Amino acid sequence: MTKFSISAELESFLPSTTEDEKKALRLSLQAEGCLQPLTVWAEEQVLVDGHNRYRICVDEGIPFTVTERNFPGLEAVKEWMLLQQLCRRNLSDNHRRWCLGQLYERRKGEKGNKTGANQHTKSLEDSPQNGDKPKGRVVDQIAAETGTSKNTVERSATFTRTVESLAKVYGASFRDLCLNTNKFTDGSLKALLELHEKDADAAAGIATIASSMGRTEIGERIAAELDEWAATQVEDEPIAPPAPAVVAAAPKASPSLPAQLSAAPVVPSRPPVAPIDQPEQPARKPAPPSPPMITEIELVDGKKGFIQSRPGYRSTFNETNAMVDWAKWTWNPITGCHHGCEYCYARDIALSERMKSVYPTGFEPTFHPERLQAPANTTARNIYGQKDKNVFVCSMADLFGKWVPLEWIQQVMDAMIANPQWTYLCLTKFPQRLKEINDLYGGFPDHVWVGTSIDNQARVGLAERCFKEIDAKVKWLSCEPLIVPLRFEDLTGFNWVVIGGQSAQNGLPSFMPPLEWVGHVYDVAKRDGCKVFCKTENMPQMTREVAW
Ligand code: SF4
């Protein structure tokens, strides 16, 4: 059991999210549960990621899990928090610039002061007019890491310094205003800061701003904006008021990834223990979401299926966690599966007591029509390149299972085709249905990548034949978990082969496939021109004994 505390410094380190964002997060947690574990600084047992989720989960009694992460010190924690923030969906442009600028300032501070003193704090106090331009190496490094340009990092650093200087005058809520809206242009902020430096009294008095600026257009605009903002402030707000410390207890997240795909969102494996101290409760709880409307239908295999809809619910993708290194998102317009794999993590999640409200139809095939809007509702970010675009489709189902009604598949296909800003990764154990859909659509568009998962010899021949006739930009074979020896004849239908062992889960022990099994798949894959990706989490001998 993990006990952790809340640090006021870390909780207020990042700017507040808007009320709308908090509402959306609450609705999402109510509807789908807390799929992503909170992150705790292992050495200090302090929460570093998921403050909003934590408070909502405690408030709503939603189970959550905790994962621990090692950091060498507080600065490393803050830098990691900024990078996490940069990966978030729905981050406003200014918020993103502020994070980039903060990252730059902190790195620059580190360079200037190896002892770790607060050089970054000094940097933030500097005026952007001081000609303190970002230094090349740090700028280039951040630009490369975050997939932005050097100019963007430089402009972001200037923006951040300006905002922080003004936040010292007008308070933390002014920072939130700048970051969460586009009310002020960079020119307005710069002019306001210049005015403050020349005439602090005039700049502090909102009513006098316009006249102090000679009633220029920019002065009028700033005065009007500040006036509007001031009207929303109940009283003068201190900068970053410290929050009371909270101590909580929660279970550790399951240390192992689900074996079959290792790409599912990490979900609670055990219900959390109630917090020792409850955080401050909001005065009124928002109304709970209305229960979903569920319609039962008969599927082609004669079994039950369901259509579960929540009219008006604004669905978005779910973010995967840091352990999933090849997809940023999961999207489940269909849940439930009839394959019955013994090692299935998805079935365990859907049938667990704690997820009952999220999966009222259990693991029966279920279509969620409102989730078709998620590709359009989710904001794309380009921080880590391709990974940010990758969406794992139906991590809780087999989209191409033989029981899935054609019209469900067509609606998912149509949503993918209509939203080419994402790269969709679809994995099935039923390649013949994938081939059927391939023929219906005349192949898959370049942004839809398709794969098949093979866990026994009986699936091999069909997969090899079907994939040779499937037209897709990326086709991959997943031999994960490799729990029996597989003999392949022809892998020319694939571009990629993924090989992995099995994590301990569902009462099953972890399994590390013998080198000979891996070697055969590797040899055929390389002979047929595939790239091979060996997952080493459950196969540590691969890194030691195999040259690739
Ligand atoms: S194919 Fe179906 S039963 Fe098998 S692991 Fe995937 S979701 Fe679970």
Cβ(512)–Cβ(539) under 8 Å?
A: yes
pLDDT at residue 291 greater than cutoff 70: yes
Burial class of residue 160, CB neighbours in 10 A (0-12, 13-18, 19+): buried
Domain boundary among 220, 237, 254: 237
Q: What is the pLDDT of residue 139?
A: 87
Asked whether residue 373 is domain-assigned, the answer is yes
Asked whether residue 153 is domain-assigned, the answer is no
Q: Is the pTM of this model over 0.95?
A: no
Q: What is the pLDDT of residue 239?
A: 27
Ligand 1 contact, 344 CB (< 6 A): yes
Same domain, 501 and 353: yes
Instruction: Report which secondary-structure segment, H or E, holds 424.
Output: strand 423-428
Ligand 1 contact, 459 CB (< 6 A): no
Asked whether residue 64 is domain-assigned, the answer is no
Could you tell me which residues come within 8 angstroms of residue 523 by beta carbon, excluding any fewer than 6 positions away? Answer: none
Look up the CATH number of the domain holding residue 398.
Answer: 3.20.20
Tell me the pLDDT tens digit for each residue of 35-64: 888 899 988 899 998 888 888 988 888 888
Same domain, 460 and 327: yes
User: Residue 226 — left, alpha, or beta (φ > 0 → left; ψ -120 to 50 → alpha)?
Assistant: alpha
Tell me the pLDDT tens digit for each residue of 301-353: 889 999 999 877 888 888 775 455 678 889 999 999 999 998 888 898 899 88
Asked whether residue 341 is domain-assigned, the answer is yes
Q: What is the 3-state secondary structure (H, E, C) of 440-509?
A: HHCCCCCCEEEEEECCCHHHHHHHHHHHHHCCCCCEEEEECCCCCCCCCCCCCCCCEEEECCECCECCEC
Same domain, 213 and 356: no
- Overall domain count for the chain: 2
Q: What is the pLDDT of residue 308?
A: 95
Same domain, 230 and 333: no
- pLDDT-derived band at 126 (thresholds 50, 70, 90) equals very low
Same domain, 522 and 396: yes
Q: What is the 3-state secondary structure (H, E, C) of 180-245?
A: HCCCCCHHHHHHHHHHHHHCHHHHHCHHHHHHHCCCCHHHHHHHHHHHHHHHHCCCCCCCCCCCCC
Closest Cα to residue 151, out of 161, 140, 160? Answer: 140
Domain boundary among 237, 255, 277: 237
Asked whether residue 412 is domain-assigned, the answer is yes
CA-CA distance, 512 to 509, in Å (whole number)?
10
pLDDT at residue 446 greater than cutoff 90: yes
Asked whether residue 62 is domain-assigned, the answer is no
Tell me the pLDDT tens digit for each residue of 61-85: 888 888 888 998 898 899 899 888 8
Q: What's the CA-to-centroid distance between 154 and ligand 1, angstroms?
A: 47
Asked whether residue 162 is domain-assigned, the answer is no
Asked whether residue 333 is domain-assigned, the answer is yes
Average pLDDT over residues 436-461: 96
Same domain, 403 and 524: yes
Shortest-distance Cα residue to atom 8 of ligand 1? 344
Q: What is the pLDDT of residue 512?
A: 82
pLDDT at residue 22 greater than cutoff 60: yes
Closest Cα to residue 168, out of 209, 106, 125, 219? Answer: 125
- pLDDT-derived band at 192 (thresholds 50, 70, 90) equals confident
Beta bridge partners of 450: 426, 475
Same domain, 408 and 492: yes
The residue type found at 203 is A
Question: Which two tokens mark 465?
Answer: 């034949």
Question: Which two tokens mark 280?
Answer: 């401050």
- pLDDT-derived band at 473 (thresholds 50, 70, 90) equals very high
Same domain, 357 and 421: yes
- Report CA-CA distances (Å) from 162 to 250, 358, 463, 547: 40, 44, 58, 51
Ligand 1 contact, 429 CB (< 6 A): yes
Query: Considering only 179-193, 210-224, 437-451, 464-478, which range has the smallest mean pLDDT?
Result: 210-224
Same domain, 179 and 318: no
Ligand 1 contact, 340 CB (< 6 A): yes
First to last CA, the chain: 38
Q: What is the pLDDT of residue 543?
A: 42
Q: What is the pLDDT of residue 154?
A: 87
pLDDT at residue 87 greater than cutoff 50: yes
- What's the Rg (C-alpha) of the chain? 26
Same domain, 312 and 430: yes
- Average confidence score pLDDT of the chain: 76
pLDDT at residue 547 greater than cutoff 60: no
pLDDT at residue 391 greater than cutoff 70: yes
Which residues span the domain enclosing 205?
Answer: 173-237
Q: What is the pLDDT of residue 505?
A: 62
Cis peptide upstream of residue 481 (ω within 30 degrees of 0):
yes
Domain boundary among 237, 253, 271: 237
Query: Considering only 141-145, 151-155, 198-202, which range has the smallest mean pLDDT?
Result: 198-202
Same domain, 224 and 343: no
Same domain, 312 and 213: no
Q: What is the dihedral of CA 273, 279, 280, 286, to 10 degrees?
A: -50
pLDDT at residue 399 greater than cutoff 90: yes
Q: What's the CA-to-centroid distance between 401 and ligand 1, angstroms?
A: 10
What are residue 331's phi and psi, to 5 degrees?
-145, 125
